[in-house]
Amino acid sequence: MAEGPLHMPTQIHDDEDIQKEDNIRCLTTRGHFGFECLPCQLVNRSIQQGFTFNILCVGETGIGKSTLIDTLFNTNLKDKKSSHFYSNVGLKIQTYELQESNIQLKLTVVKTVGYGDQINKEASYQPIVDYVDAQFEAYLQEELKIKRSFFEYHDSRIHVCLYFISPTGHSLKSLDLVTMKNIDSKVNIIPLIAKADTISKNDLQKFKSKIMNELISNGVQIYQFPTDDGTTAQVNSSINELLPFAVVGSMEEVKVGKRIVRGRHYPWGVLQVENENHCDFVKLRDMLLCTNMENLKEQTHIQHYECYRRSKLQKMGFTDVGPDNHPVSFQEIYETKRQEFYDQCQKEEEELKWRFMQRVKEKEITFKEAEKELQDKFEQLKMAQQEEIMKLEEERRQLEEEIRDFYKMKATSETLRAQLCTNIKKDKDRKK
């Protein structure tokens, strides 16, 4: 049989081309292809699709969550004030469609309700953890679907958690540490000192370093602005030094000189929200919305969601490598799991059968014992009955004997009486 042509990948080395270590050749293009427009394609597609951003605000009732979100997006989201008398911590979830120039942003704001108002604050973090996990679960379920619809799917995973710290000036509350510790592996935490206008500048610096020391000593991981991207590395590393942000929120418009600014009016002057010498609001807004929104989303996907996904799939029995450290395919895992399940069913069936047989045997023994007991009782009764019959027979015999004797005596007495009558009659006749 004639041998067919061998389709082996041939490598032609060109001296001009650069040979990379992993055997991929880098070619220098000698004309226009058009793929330099790839970034534009991505930008256009992103603009068409719009963006989503999900913020979680955790902080005590009345700490300034709604005001800060309004100030960040320069919109009145018309959020009602919460009561201080909820028995449990809850979450208020609101989604808004915002537009800036031609960019659409689907913004979801999740705020705690009743946080810090309970006497027993131990489980206050639980509803937050449950909510964050539930969003990961929903995304995982979408990923695992046969027919996925990621274009229409509203990704509700939390991209950032703004943690509002009370401006006490002393230290973090134990509730702050417990909550942050429980959510730091699930969400990017950015700590904020709320209502920073209520602390003096000196105290604020001390408070900031106290908070950072407490977070470090308690092993709480907060979000670090990335320093591996040349364009943002410098500004991000200087911002990391500044954490936690000391923020002031206000939608009030105040006149300063000839300008109208947003700020808070005090007898001693005006605190301008967007003045970087007055507070860190602008820095927070720039970091959150201008510079690092994509990184926050990326971290959510590749770090926090990945962690959730991995542990969930591991719990379900999926793995990348087998016991011999060899990669295993999904099909192999499925087959192994199916076999394991089948074996388990078999084992349980055997166990059930064995238990059933044991029960039957036990019942059989019990029945036999009961039967024997009944038999013995029957024999006893039978004997007693026979004894009774014999006794009665004896009595009957005795009675019959007595009757016979009686008749004998009766006959004798009648004979005697007849003789007596005859004798009397004879005597009478003789006397006559």
Closer to Mg ion by Cβ: residue 79 or 214: 79
Q: Does 252 bind Mg ion (CB under 5 A)?
A: no
Q: CA angle, corner 193, sides to 132 and 259, nearest 5?
A: 115
Q: Does 81 bind ligand GTP (CB under 6 A)?
A: yes
Q: Does 82 bind ligand GTP (CB under 6 A)?
A: yes
Compose the 196-235 pattern: x for residues touching ligand GTP by CB under 6 A, - for all others.
-xx-------------------------------------
Assigned token pair, 130? 């449950």
Which of 57, 58, 63, 66: binder of Mg ion (CB under 5 A)?
66
Assigned token pair, 320? 């990348």
Instruction: Give bridge partners of residue 110 from the DSSP assignment.
Output: 56, 93
Compose the 4-43 pattern: x for residues touching ligand GTP by CB under 6 A, - for all others.
----------------------------------------
Question: Cβ 57 to Mg ion, closest distance in Å?
Answer: 8
Q: CA distances (Å), 249 to each of 49, 70, 281, 308, 389, in order? A: 31, 8, 8, 34, 111
Q: CA angle, corner 142, sides to 138 and 143, nearest 5?
A: 115
Task: Look at residue 347 and give its three-state secondary structure.
Answer: helix
Q: Cβ distance 198 to 266 under 8 Å?
A: no
Q: Does 63 bind ligand GTP (CB under 6 A)?
A: yes
Give the whole-angstrom CA distance, residue 56 versus residue 179: 13
Which of ligand GTP, Mg ion, none sits in contact with 56, Cβ below 5 to 8 A by type? none
Q: CA angle, corner 359, sides to 357 and 363, nearest 5?
A: 115
Assigned token pair, 22? 């992993």
Binding-site size for ligand GTP (CB under 6 A) equals: 16
Q: Is-cis flag, bond preceding 244, omega within 30?
A: yes
Q: Which stretch binds ligand GTP (CB under 6 A): 46-54, 61-69, 342-350, 410-418?
A: 61-69
Closer to ligand GTP by Cβ: residue 20 or 81: 81
Assigned token pair, 11? 């490598």
Question: Cβ 202 to ligand GTP, closest distance in Å?
Answer: 18
Which of 56, 189, 248, 284: binder of ligand GTP (CB under 6 A)?
248
Closer to ligand GTP by Cβ: residue 265 or 425: 265
Assigned token pair, 274? 């967007």
Q: Does 249 bind ligand GTP (CB under 6 A)?
A: yes
Residue 420 has a CB neighbour count (10 Å cut-off) of: 10
Closer to ligand GTP by Cβ: residue 111 or 304: 111
Q: Does 283 bind ligand GTP (CB under 6 A)?
A: no
Q: Which residues bind ligand GTP (CB under 6 A)?
A: 59, 61-67, 81-82, 195, 197-198, 248-249, 264
